[in-house]
Chains A and B, each alone.
Chain A
Amino acid sequence: MAGIRVKFGAAAVVAALLLAGCGDGNDGSDQPGSGTLRVATSALAASVDPMAELSASYLRSVGAAEGLMRIQPDGTVAPELAEKVEATAPTVWTATLRPNVTFWKGGTVDAKAVVASMERARTENTLAAGLLKDVTVAATGQRTVTFTTKEPTYSLPYALAHYQLVIHNVSGYPAGFSGTDPATADLTGPYRITGFESDRQMVLERNDRWWGGTPGLARVEVRKVADPQARAQIALSGQAEIVQDLPTERAKELEAAPGMSLVAKPAANTVTVYLNPTSTAAPALADQRVRQALAWAVDRQEVVSLATSGLSVPAPSWLASNPAFPDATGQGYTRFDKVTAERLLDEAGWTLGADGKRVKDGKKLTLRLLTFGAEAATGEVLQAQWARLGIDVQVRNVESSLINQSIEKGDWDAVTQAWTTLGDTAKLIAAQIGPGGAANHGKYTDPRIEGLLTQAAGAAQEGERTAAVYELNKLMVELAPSIPVHPRVLATGIAKEVTGFVAHPLQYENIVQPKMTLG
C-alpha cells in the first residue's frame, strides 16, 4: 500500500511539474500575414533602459529607440529626431529638433528633454560619457539644443548618431526602477515595447504617435535563439520573417531556400590580426618586414571563401570596411603576393630550410594566434596560408576575455579582433594606431602619427581631414601593427513577404526598420 502511495505521489509531482512548466501550447507563432513580424536573434537587450549596459543598440535595432542622428547604409550620417544639425561656430553645433515629436507616453521631445536625456546618458553610461567627453549640452530654445566642444569637433554628428545617445524620457526612468518592466520604458521609436522578458523575448506594437507617419507593421515579436543552428532552422522552416546572425557554414542551404533570401552585408568592422612586436615567444614580429610579409601572404579571397562561405569581402586595409571611405579598398594589401612575402622574409634573415620551414639563427619562425568566436575559421585558414610560407602557427579559439588578459600580461603573439570602423573615424583610427590607443596593443609609434591624428580630428577643411584619415590608413599598412583580413559577416535571413528591408553595415542596430511591411 505504501509503495502504491509512493508511486502515485511521484506521478503527481511529475505531473504537477509538467503542468506548471508548460503553457497551453499557444506560443503565438502561427500568425502569418497578420502584420506581426517575427524576429529571431542571437541577443536581446538586457533592459528596457537604453542606458543600462548592453541595451541601447538592441533597443535601436528593433525600432524602439532613436537618436538625434542616424548612420545611413552608405556610411554618411543623417538627421533622425533632429531636423538638422549644423556647425554654427568652430566649437558649436546646433541641433534643431523636429516639430511634434513625442515620447511613447505623450511627453514632448523638446530641447529640455533632449538635454536631460544626454545628461543622464553621460552620468549612467561609460560609453555615452566617452562620446560626450568635453561636450557641453544646453537647451537654447524650445527646439534648439547646442553642443559646445572644447576644440573644433567635426565628428560630433557621428557621436550624436551613436546608439548609446538615443533619446529617452528621463522622467520615465526614476532611480530604482525595474529595468525589465516595459511600462517604464519611454522612448520615441516607431515601435513601443509592450512585453519584455530579459534574455528571452520582446514584444513591440506600432507607435501611432510616431513622427514619421504610420509604421509598416502592427506588431513585432523578437525572440532570442542562442543556438546558431536553431536560428538557421527557423529561417529554413519559415518560423520567423527575419533571422539575424545566421551561421555562414550553412550559407548555400540558406541561399537556396525558397521563401527567404540571405542578406549578407559586410559589417563596418574589420577582422584584424594584431601583432605583438615585443613578444618573447615570437621575436620575429619586432621586424616590420616580417609583419608585412605576413600581411602580403594572406590570400584574402581564399579566406573569405573558406572562412565566411563567400559572404564577406577582402579588406586590404583596416579602413576598407567603412563605406564612408570608399578609397580605402584600394589601399594596402590589395593583392595576394607570396613573392613579396618571401622576399621580405629572406631580407629579414628568415630563410627557407630543406624541411620547408623558415629559420633564423637556428630558430624556427613560429607564432601563436588567439582567435575568438566565429573568427576561429579565419584563424585556421591563415594558419594554412602562413604554413605555405614556412611559418608554424598555433591557433587557439578562446573567450574574448582571455584575449584581453593575454594582451594585458603581454603574453601574446597575435590575436584577432574586429573593431568598428564606422563612426567618429578620427577617434576610431586613433584607437588603432595612436599613442595609448585602446587597440594599439603593440604600442606602435611613429613620428608621423600624432600630426596626422590632429589633422584628422581638427583640420578646418573636410578634405584635409579625410586625406589625413587615408594617410593614417596607409601608415598602418606600412608599419603593419596589424593585418586586416575581412569585415565580419552579418548574415540575415529575410522572408520573401518582407518588403523594405535595407541592408546596413551596422545591421545589428538596424533590423526592424520603420518602412518595412509584410506583403
Chain B
Amino acid sequence: MIARGVVTAAGLLLVASVLVFVLVRAAPGDAVDVEFGESGASALLSSEEEAAARAQRARELGLDRSVPEQYVRWLSRVVRLDLGISFRTGRPVADELVERVPASAALGGAGFLVALAGAWLIGLLSARRPGGLLDHVLRLLSLAATAVPTFLLGSLALRYAAEWIGYPIAGEASWRRLWLPAVVLGVGAMPVVARLLRASLISEYGRPYALAARARGASPARVTFRHVMRPAFTPLLTLAGLTLASLVAASVITEVIFSWPGVSEYAVAAISAKDYPVVQAYLLLVVVVVVVVNRAVDVIQHLLDPRVGQAAEVMA
C-alpha cells in the first residue's frame, strides 16, 4: 500500500509540476517586464537599446529559452532539490524557503489546533441537546464565522488587538504575535469541522453500544468521553486533512495581513514581481504538503480502522 501511495504521489507531483510551470507563465508579462516597468529605464533608452537590454536580462534569467526547455531544465534541478535562484534577490530559493517554512508551519499548526479545539468544543456542546437554544446559537455563530471573509476578520482583529492590547503588528515570528493570526486562521476553518463532529456525535449517541452504556447507568460525560468520542472522530480524519490543506490556502491572506514572515507572504511578493523560481517552488511546496497530508490521513485511517484499507482493496 505504501509503495502504491508513493508512486501515486510521485505521479501527482509530476502533473502538478507541469501545471504549476504553465500557469505561472500564463499570466501576462514576465520578470523583465516588471523590472523595466518599475525602473523607468525605458524613458532613457532608445527602443533598440531597450530591446537589447531586455534581451540581455531575459538571457540572464533563462527566459529566452522555450517554455518546454525551461521546464526540463527546472525539473532536472528540482529532482536534485535545487529550486533555482530568486530573480529578485539572487539567493537560492531553497534557502529562502527554509528560512520561512518554520514560521508558516507554526502558524498553520497553531491555526489547525485552534480549529480542532474550537470545533471539538462547539460540536460537543451542540450535540448535547440537538435543536436546543445552545445548538441554535452555536449554529448561528458558525454560520457567521463561515460567512466573514478571512481578510475582513483578520483586518478587524488586527485593528482592535493593536488598539486595545498593543498587539505588535510587525516583527519576527514570535509567540506574542502568533496567537492572533492563528485564531483568525482557526476560526475560518472551525465551523465545518464543528458541524461534522456534531452530526457524528449525534449519530454515535444513537447507536446500540452508546444506548447500552447509558442503560447500564453510565453518566452522559462518561458515555461521551469513554465510548462515543473516538468513533465520532474517525470520519473527521479525512476532513481534518482537507482542513489542513485549506489552511495552507487561507494562510496566504493571513500572512499578508499580519505581516507574518512565512512562505505565503514571500510568495505573494514573488507573484507581483513574476519571480518564477520562487512562485514555482512555493506552489510545488503547497502541492507536496497537500499530497503528504492526504496520504498521512489515509495511513492513519487505515491504522485506526483496518476496514478502510480492506474496503479500498475490495474496490480496487
Contact = CB atoms under 8 A, between A and B. Distances in A.
Q: Do A and B actually bind?
A: yes
A25 B57 contact: no
Nearest to B230: A3
A21 B33 contact: no
A399 B29 contact: yes
B33 A404 contact: yes
A199 B259 CA distance: 11
Contacts of B219: none
B256 A226 contact: yes
A17 B106 contact: yes
Nearest to B40: A420
Contacts of A225: 169-170, 259
A6 interface: yes
Given A22-B178, A180-B91, A17 B170 contact: no
Interface string B148-191: 00000001001100110010111111111110000000000000
Contacts, number: 197
Interface stretch (B47-55, B70-78, B206-214, B308-316): B47-55
B259 A230 contact: yes
Interface of A: 2-3, 6, 14, 17-18, 20-29, 40, 46-47, 52-54, 126-127, 129-131, 133, 164, 178-180, 197-200, 223-227, 229-230, 233-234, 236-237, 239-240, 399-402, 404-405, 419-420, 424, 427-428, 431, 436-439
B interface, over-half SS = helix
A319 to B, nearest CB: 14
Given A22-B175, A179-B91, A226-B256, A29 B170 contact: yes
Contact of B45 (A6, A18, A133, A237): A133
Interface residues of B, number: 70
Given A14-B109, A21-B104, A54-B88, A223 B170 contact: yes
A179 B173 contact: no
A419 B29 CA distance: 19
Given A127-B44, A436-B47, 20 more contacts: A17-B105, A20-B106, A21-B104, A27-B172, A47-B90, A53-B39, A126-B57, A130-B44, A198-B89, A200-B261, A223-B259, A230-B170, A230-B259, A233-B163, A237-B163, A239-B168, A399-B27, A400-B34, A401-B28, A402-B29
A27 B50 contact: no
B282 interface: no
B82 interface: no
B303 interface: yes
A6 B303 contact: yes
A63 B257 CA distance: 28
Interface string B259-281: 10100011011000010000000
A14 B37 contact: no
B46 interface: yes
A405 B28 contact: yes
Contacts of B274: 401
A18 B178 contact: yes
Interface of B: 27-30, 33-47, 49-50, 53, 57, 88-91, 96, 99, 102-107, 109-110, 112-113, 155, 158-159, 162-163, 166, 168-178, 230, 256-259, 261, 265-266, 268-269, 274, 300, 303-304
Contact of A127 (B40, B103, B170, B230): B40
B109 A47 contact: no
A28 B170 CA distance: 10
5 contacts: A21-B104, A29-B168, A40-B170, A404-B33, A427-B44
Nearest to A46: B88
Contact of B39 (A28, A40, A126, A436): A126
B173 to A, nearest CB: 5
B91 A198 contact: yes
Given A22-B174, A130-B49, A14 B113 contact: yes
B171 A29 contact: yes
B29 A233 contact: no
Contacts of B175: 22-25
A294 to B, nearest CB: 24
Contact of A399 (B28, B46, B258): B28
B89 A180 contact: yes
Contacts of A178: 90-91
